[in-house]
Chain A
Amino acid sequence: MTLDNDAIAPPASESTLVPAGNLATEAGALLGAGFRLALVAGHDDARALRAVYVFVAGAPDRRVELQVRLDRSRPAVPSLARLSFPASRFERELHDLFGIEPVGHPFLRPLVLHQHWPAGWNPMRLDAGAPPPMLTDAEPFPFVPVEGPGVYEIPVGPVHAGLIEPGHFRFSVVGETILKMKARLWFVHRGLEKLFEGRDATDGVVLAERISGDSAIGHNLAYCLAVEEARRIELPEEGARLRALLLELERITNHVADVGALCNDVGYGIAQARALALREALLRLAAEVTGHRLLRGAIRPGVASLRRLPTEAELVNIASRFEDLVEIAITNTVVMDRFKGTAVLSQDDATAIGTLGVVARASGLAIDARAAHPFVSLGDSPDIATEGAGDVMARFSVRAREVRTSLRLAAALAGSAHRLEVVAPEVHCRGGSGLGIVEGWRGTIVHRVEVDASARLTRCKVVDPSFLNWPALSVALADTIIPDFPLANKSFNLSYAGNDL
């Protein structure tokens, strides 16, 4: 693989203030032109509220922002839910956190706030104040009941056996077949976006690394790219390549763990044991490369800093151990029987839901921010691993293929590095907004920040791919049998923390 020396500066987002009445037309035109709605952020500018819609398309990398000013006394935007499914989710979030009403939304139920929060309390407003006392007599979260002979419900969670994040799943089942699965999340909502506000932009790194513990690099890098764009910091391309190296290391580590965990969920412990050993080797390598097993602390706005580079021998060793692991898994006929045809997500559904990352690629969508929104050139045509079947096997194969690609990329990036620390030249402190788009190991992570003139964050909006992928899990489960749910869930492996924020 060849690496040319072009550092890629992201194209400046063109930002336009649109009247609320024109929003649907403008958004429709962008969606029609192949853009996707990547992020919707609410803002409380004290005198007025504001909604920011970010549309992106690639390649070539294009980013368009539509901003709508809203009357504080009666904030309302026309709903885009009928144009885009992700919009409907963003709007429900906007409604819960900012009290901005999406007019014409077909399904305006609470999303982030659970039922025991009093209606009308919007925590992201400047004047929200301390959390009000919770309602003790709140209605339980309503689930649409499925009726018919032999239908019964299985409630699972939010506390699960094993080391899993909290989420409540309600299955409507006939015999062993799932008719409907409804997920209730936001049990780990920590108010992260609120915690960013008022922080120094450099200190925001500490939060960004902890948005989803397994995506420290993905989220932190998206955050740093956003801050750098906002403050016009330009990191030399050598630094960008060090960051790309860390991003691939994170991808390899997590995909290896997933390959093992998928085998473990079908009771194939020997593959899991190998995967865990390999993951441990990768974590130790990460500790030597960055000083932290989860790759924390190596990236800050304007800085990329490593302790040492992974050697070629180390990467070759990891590659051969990974091939052994995959061999053990795919040569077992029972494992393959469990993987194939289980929890199919069709390409049409994947497109309509707006899925990202591994899930989208396993359903045949060639979506990869490394190609669509590159922050560093990785050669002429980054290899996007796509599979057509959309089943557990496809998601397994996409991961296996991506580990190979990432190992090649990591070797090339490490081989061409000359410095361990790259620091951007000092800039005059100035405010502005910035967008960071990174292909984390789960999928495309988007951060949008606004920084004031004293380099303090006034807003940081985070979109983890899990936020867009969670609804796809329910769709893929139709006609899957109950005992296959853990396997299907693991094949998506979505982040609860990244979704709940």
Chain B
Amino acid sequence: MSPAASAAILAGAALKMRMPASLLQVAAIVVGGPLLVGLMAKCRARAEGRIGAPISQPLRDLRKLVRKERIHAEHSSAVLAVAPFVLVASATVAVAISPLVTTAPVLDGGADAFVVVYLLLMGSVALALGGLDPGTAFGGMGSSRAMTVGALAEPALLVAILALSIQAKTSNLPGIVKATLAHPGWLASPERLLALAALVVVVIAETGRIPVDNPSTHLELTMIHEAMVLEYAGPELALVTLGEAMRLGLLFGLVANLFFPWGIASSASLPQLSLAVVVLAAKAATIAVVIALIEVSTAKLRLFRIPELLAGGFVLAVLAVMTGLVTR
């Protein structure tokens, strides 16, 4: 047997071993993402003195949307129909290779911070094109705004992760998680705290929460993300909603594991994996509650102030990198 063939068999065996864990991650995020959205809506409702819809409401909405007929805007092309699939597919790959439930997901050599960030960006661009495709004023307005926010959030996200990479000496996400597990003292380091602050800003912007965007508004003219997807209906709207919820779950999960990785499974054993899912859910839910409380206590920023907020996030990320370089 040639070395190449045996390497391939070994790699195949590794893939087989890692596949269940990655599938588990995807399943956890597909179910957990919408539940996180529901949890945040519930928190807001309770803080405002309302009872609110059940936490499972987003999942029920998905079921309802899937059963509806497919309907496309007049004059729209295949871009409108394909964009939701690109969104969900890119989110699924990003979830599969990220260290969420296990430190050894499939293709973990490729689970570079840049790969994950650009997979997310791929979904954003697909949605923006889908928003432009029908040629309506709202879709174009939403896409333009979403790209403005995205273009400002992306560098802050990359630089914040770069601060962690410098500390861990790798930009491989599972690698950063493993290094953090080995060095608990890093948690209190200034670059970690600064990067965490920067990431919170980015996560709020990327998931379209107040003060950047208001996911529950009915006012078309104020919308960012909702305006972009206004022309979607039925199963395709379900895909868009699911894709967005998965991205939210992924971002919450990544923030949780990059900064507080304990509980993540380091082997593929069933008890460890199940425990890891529970711990991940608890960590992501905590982040969801914190962000929901931030949402309740503030109002939506004027559109032209959003760049200031994101620039603040970027500055925090740059400070994190510089602190890391100086204190080494």
Is B300 engaged at the interface, CB distance under 8 Å to the other chain?
yes
CB-defined interface of A440-483 with B at 8 Å, one 1/0 digit per residue? 00000000000000000000000000000000000000000111
**Cβ B220 vs Cβ A156 within 8 A:** yes
Is B48 engaged at the interface, CB distance under 8 Å to the other chain?
yes
Return chain B residues, CB-CB under 8 Å to A485. 221
Is A113 engaged at the interface, CB distance under 8 Å to the other chain?
no
Is B70 engaged at the interface, CB distance under 8 Å to the other chain?
no
A272 to B303, CA, bound (A): 21
**Cβ B221 vs Cβ A156 within 8 A:** yes
**Cβ A266 vs Cβ B218 within 8 A:** no
A152-B137, A269-B48 given; A484·B219 CB < 8 A: no
Tell me which of A160, A270, A332, A482 contacts B48 (CB under 8 A): A270
Considering only residues 215-259 of chain B, those with a C-beta below 8 Å from chain A are: 216-222
A272 to B222, CA, bound (A): 17
Is A30 engaged at the interface, CB distance under 8 Å to the other chain?
no
Is B327 engaged at the interface, CB distance under 8 Å to the other chain?
no
**Cβ A482 vs Cβ B141 within 8 A:** yes
**Cβ B137 vs Cβ A334 within 8 A:** no
A269 to B217, CA, bound (A): 10
Return chain A residues, CB-CB under 8 Å to B219. 161-162, 265, 486
Return chain B residues, CB-CB under 8 Å to A334. 211, 298-301
Is B138 engaged at the interface, CB distance under 8 Å to the other chain?
yes
Considering only residues 285-328 of chain B, those with a C-beta below 8 Å from chain A are: 296-305
**Cβ A484 vs Cβ B44 within 8 A:** no
Nearest Cβ in chain B — how far from A498, in angstroms? 22
Is B278 engaged at the interface, CB distance under 8 Å to the other chain?
no
Counting chain B residues whose Cβ lies within 8 A of the other chain, the interface size class is 20 to 34
Is A337 engaged at the interface, CB distance under 8 Å to the other chain?
yes
**Cβ A481 vs Cβ B49 within 8 A:** no
A154 to B296, CA, bound (A): 31
Q: How many residues of A contact B (CB 8 A)?
A: 31
**Cβ A273 vs Cβ B299 within 8 A:** no
**Cβ B300 vs Cβ A484 within 8 A:** no
**Cβ A162 vs Cβ B218 within 8 A:** yes
**Cβ B48 vs Cβ A481 within 8 A:** no
**Cβ B214 vs Cβ A153 within 8 A:** no
Is B270 engaged at the interface, CB distance under 8 Å to the other chain?
no
Is B116 engaged at the interface, CB distance under 8 Å to the other chain?
no
Return chain A residues, CB-CB under 8 Å to B48. 269-270, 272-273
Nearest B residue to A157 by beta-carbon distance? B220
**Cβ B299 vs Cβ A332 within 8 A:** yes
**Cβ A267 vs Cβ B211 within 8 A:** yes
Return chain A residues, CB-CB under 8 Å to B216. 269
CB-defined interface of B128-141 with A at 8 Å, one 1/0 digit per residue? 00000000011011
**Cβ A273 vs Cβ B303 within 8 A:** no
Nearest Cβ in chain A — how far from B85, in angstroms? 27
Return chain B residues, CB-CB under 8 Å to A274. 49
Is B210 engaged at the interface, CB distance under 8 Å to the other chain?
yes
- Which chain A residues have a beta carbon within 8 Å of chain B's beta carbons? 152-156, 160-162, 176, 263, 265-270, 272-274, 277, 332, 334-335, 337-338, 481-486
Q: Can you report 20 A-B residue pairs in the complex whose CB atoms are below 8 A from each other?
A: A152-B140, A153-B137, A154-B137, A154-B141, A161-B218, A162-B218, A266-B300, A267-B211, A270-B47, A270-B297, A273-B49, A273-B50, A334-B211, A334-B298, A334-B301, A337-B301, A481-B302, A481-B303, A485-B221, A486-B221
